[in-house]
Amino acid sequence: MLDIKFIRENPKVVEEGSRKKGVEIDIELLLSLDKQKREFLQKIEEFRAQKNKANEDIKKANKEEKESIIKKMRDIGKESEKFEEKLKEIEKELNKELRKIPNLPLEEVPLGQSEKDNKVLRREGQIREFDFPVKDYLELAEKMDLIDIKRAAKVSGTRFGIIKKEAAYLHFALISLALEITQKYGFVPLLPPVMIRPEMMEGMGYVERGGDEIYHLEKDNLYLIGTSEQIIGPMHSGEIFNEKELPRRYVGYSSCFRREAGSHGKDTKGILRVHQFEKVEMFSFTTPEKSKEEHELLLSIEEELMQALEIPYQVVDICTADLGDPAAKKYDIEAWMPGQNQYRETHSTSNCTDFQSRRLNIRYKGKEGVRFTHMLNGTALAIGRIIISIMENHQQADGSIVIPSALRKYLPFKEIK
């Protein structure tokens, strides 16, 4: 949520920033509601002043005067109640309009109309030249019985997979590597719940647009999380950090759930785009002055993990139209997938500035008083997609898969045969 004072003083900036994200807002309606709210608040304050004066007058009044003053106070009270009821309606409507406004993109974010306008910043790692026909991960998995799509479909339907045998060991080794590397930077490990209350999900800014991606358990009025960042962020809702406690860094491991609405026909086979997947996610609370620096740190950790796994990748600067509501700036990392002959997204990291903290009332106290924190998130490892990357990049001519050296200490094998 944006600061109403900022919106009031910069309506054109807010309108243009929203438009860059492909969101049309009714700024005139919002400003009208804001004006009405302030007028009603002023009137209610006048009623309170009249009540206070009447209370003082009643102390000095005789019996007859007291009765007249009491009647006047009752009349003031009735009028005040009407205004307070109307104020609640206006505040509800204003809050609804405020929540329609996305976070504004930072000035350096590239302009764009769709994901096609995202900008590749650099490519890292050596793309391997194979001297044998390259297989995609599904061919490799089927041959070695590592991923069972058919039985997953039998019990759960499409867009599910059962990870088996050495691939299951690899899954847990990847978690260990992510925890080892993030520990160096002071990340506190978490195993968060995978269900979240609606008001907390709304506070993170994922419901107004993109709500069709979320699984809602109607009977319990809970959502299933699409990433652990959605539940780590609200952990400190309504709290005030001491500035010395920042940055506060967490790394959470969880199952994640997404409907994959609108992706019909895209990657329907295999485990690249599924309804349930596992992910290690980084999250950080910091000061506004340090959030850009923190964002670059999250990106550097993601790159450190990819380099440890010996997977070629490219870093992508996400354009305005592809940012999503909460993010002011976002980077993606896309891994080279030789079996598919293309780069595919494996990581993202977003600076959401104070957009989420305003909604959740997460602040910190420093020399300049109490201010809203900045909140950032970044993928450490999306387990399924990294397993795919390892299988395709480290396959051998005989059909085996060599395990990257960084993972071997966590595993009872050095290759999958």
Catalytically active residues, by annotation: 258, 273, 345, 348, 385
Query: Could you tell me which residues come within 8 angstroms of residue 142 by beta carbon, excluding any fewer than 6 positions away?
Result: none
- Alpha-carbon Rg for the chain in angstroms: 27
Alpha-carbon gap, residue 93 to 231, rounded angstroms: 27
Alpha-carbon gap, residue 408 to 7, rounded angstroms: 53
Sign of CA dihedral 262, 339, 345, 233: positive
Which whole-number Å values give the CA distances from 131 to 128, 149, 212, 314, 398, in the listed order? 10, 29, 45, 24, 12
Under DSSP, is residue 337 helix (H, G, I), strand (E, B) or coil?
Answer: strand
- DSSP strand E in 126-173: where? 147-148, 162-163
Neighbours of 167 (CB within 10 A): 26
Query: Could you tell me which residues come within 8 angstroms of residue 108 by beta carbon, excluding any fewer than 6 positions away?
Result: 329
